[in-house]
Chain A
Amino acid sequence: MDELIRDAMHHALDSEPTPAGLRWRVIDAVPMRSERRSPVTRRSFQWTSGLVAALLALAIVVGLIYSRGLLTSQVHHRPLPIGGSLLSPEGVAIGPDGSVYVSDYIAGLVFRIDPQGRAFRFAGGGNGTDGPATEAHLQHPVGIAVDQSGLVYIAEAFHGNLSVGNTWPGDIKRIDRGGQISTFAQGGGLQDPAGLAIDSVGTLYFSDYGGNVGSLDRFGNLSWLEGPSIDPPVPSPGYIAFDAKGNLYMSDRAPFVQGAPGGCRIVRMTPDKVFSIVAGTGTCGFTGDGGPATRAAINDPNGIAFDSSGNLYFADANNHRVRRVDSHGVITTVAGTGVAGSFGDSPTQASRAQLGYPFGLAISRDGFLYVSDASCACENPAVPGNVRIINLANGVITTALKGGIPFPAN
């Protein structure tokens, strides 16, 4: 079997031989300086040079526009340096005081929208580790959770401290009520944390994109659920959420092989660790609105949230929609037309508005659904995403946090 696989791998991959002269091009292009850099612990950007260039360009353009007073109706604070504006919204969480927290995967920031609707840079943008959160470096923040006391947890993918050698697992950060950030969990098999959710007794659950789900008690002690894999298989758990009954829901994002079990489903785990599928067929696509969610095709589910009636909402990212599974198990589209775009920036019916790869979701106690909407930023990182907000009472969508505009530190 080993030889068969080896032969097949060569058959598949040898068709793209190493480009001629790559060695010399690579070595020549390394930007060396005349002196060796000292082995300081300053973190390095993990982005590609293209993304960094895009961020620089974005910051310069925004800075120029702002300095000319063209955005005075929207910006009331002095512009921040690079990283002060929303670029790629990811996770969303709502705190006990009603503040909305949004992570920015590419910019490495977390924003806070206070109950008055003012936006601040809450974490990231610096080079520090422990200490003030706005002076810390965040490496690809993904999921966010806020406990009842206001502690904010952030899943950080691929911890970027290069000085530790070649092991760069992700970690989970915690920010206290005084705005001080620290590493809450690291190691113990934690590789690439993605979704975060807190149960009714305050235990933090996390998904690890490598295929596991685990939990952390208030002291940071880590334990894994049911060994290395979950049955039924959840190869790539993404965002997670608890319903009011204590059931844990997981987005099963991507299948290993099309047609194989797993992927493009929402999986539920009861407190007794009984698993079931609540949406999706295991085949990615778009079908089934108006029918049973378990017979509907969904495509790369991401954020999950519940309203006060127990209806489940999830971001159907590759379908550019937010969909709902009601208490009878019937699935419908709540927002998005299926065409990626940003129409609906001004108040309009969510069913007519366009979304572009929505990721994180959260619902406030007063019935507003917040959506991290990449707004097609994935196709052009220089085009910032937005955070959209949907009034679930009347279905009207608008923009809660606009990308590309700098916000002050918290």
Chain B
Amino acid sequence: MLSAARAELVTRAGSGDRRAFDELVGPLIDQAFRLAYGMLHDRSAAEDAVQEAATRAWRKLGHLREGTEMRPWFLAIVANQCRNIARGKWWSVLRMDAMPTATAPDIGEQVATGADLRRALRHLSPEHREVLVLHYYLDLPLDEVARIAAVPLGTVKSRINRGVAALRSFLLPVEAMV
């Protein structure tokens, strides 16, 4: 069961106690934004995603179950919201159109710039982007990444491997990859 203290918070938050809801979700907003920005690469869209996720989280407080941890539960809602936005062709078409034309990385470059990596991340599918951001940017362990992404651990590893492979050319000079 939920601990008595947290159950009390959940009850109060569900009844409209904003301070209680803040105690539950507020500490996760920073990570939520970083996840959303990592997935969407759009500051405004990331804020919207976090806002929508918080609203959904409040609506779903009654579904918190035994053993449910707040962080993976809430970040899963954020990730799903981002996937939804990124999968909406209407959005992705606009993002793609807005992107500057990318060029292949110069073999002589030693390390990619931040812009290069952001561009590379943008070209990953939302699912691959999601696991990379969760694992490498938010430093979450793989089992928690799996819970947030709602896929088996093996799928997380596979997505990370494929995602990393796709990013490698942006991270290493060619001679270092061989």
Q: Name A's B-contacting residues (CB within 8 A).
A: 1-2, 4-6, 8-13, 15-16, 18-19, 22-23, 25-39, 44, 46, 48-49, 88, 105-106, 140, 157-158, 162-163, 165-169, 191-192, 209-211, 228-229, 235-236, 254-260, 300, 317-318, 357, 359, 374, 377-379, 381
Question: What are 17 sample pairs from A and B whose C-beta atoms fall under 8 A apart?
Answer: A5-B171, A9-B117, A10-B137, A11-B117, A12-B118, A18-B34, A23-B29, A29-B54, A32-B58, A166-B150, A254-B125, A257-B123, A257-B124, A258-B102, A258-B103, A317-B93, A357-B93
> In whole angstroms, how far apart are the Cα atoms of A363 and B76 in the complex?
40
**A8/B61 in contact, CB under 8 A:** no
**A13/B58 in contact, CB under 8 A:** no
**For residue A6, which residue of chain B has the nearest CB?**
B136
What is the interface size of chain B, counting residues whose CB is below 8 A from a CB of the partner?
Answer: 83
Q: Mark B112-137, 1 if CB is under 8 A from A, else 0.
A: 10110110110111011000110011
Taking A166-B80, A256-B166, A258-B123 as contacts, is the C-beta distance between A48 and B137 under 8 angstroms? no
B103 → chain A, closest Cβ, in Å? Answer: 8
> Which residues of B in the span 44-59 have a Cβ within 8 Å of any Cβ on A?
46-48, 50-52, 54-56, 58-59
**B114/A12 in contact, CB under 8 A:** yes
**10 closest cross-chain pairs (CB), A and B:** A36-B14, A166-B76, A12-B117, A378-B90, A256-B166, A167-B150, A39-B62, A12-B114, A23-B29, A259-B104
**A162/B60 in contact, CB under 8 A:** yes
Chain B residues positioned under 8 Å from A32 (CB to CB): 16, 18, 21, 58
**A22/B29 in contact, CB under 8 A:** yes
Interface flag for B30 (CB, 8 Å): yes
**A36/B118 in contact, CB under 8 A:** no
> In whole angstroms, how far apart are the Cα atoms of A13 and B34 in the complex?
8
Taking A5-B167, A27-B22, A256-B128 as contacts, is the C-beta distance between A165 and B85 under 8 angstroms? no
A149 → chain B, closest Cβ, in Å? Answer: 31
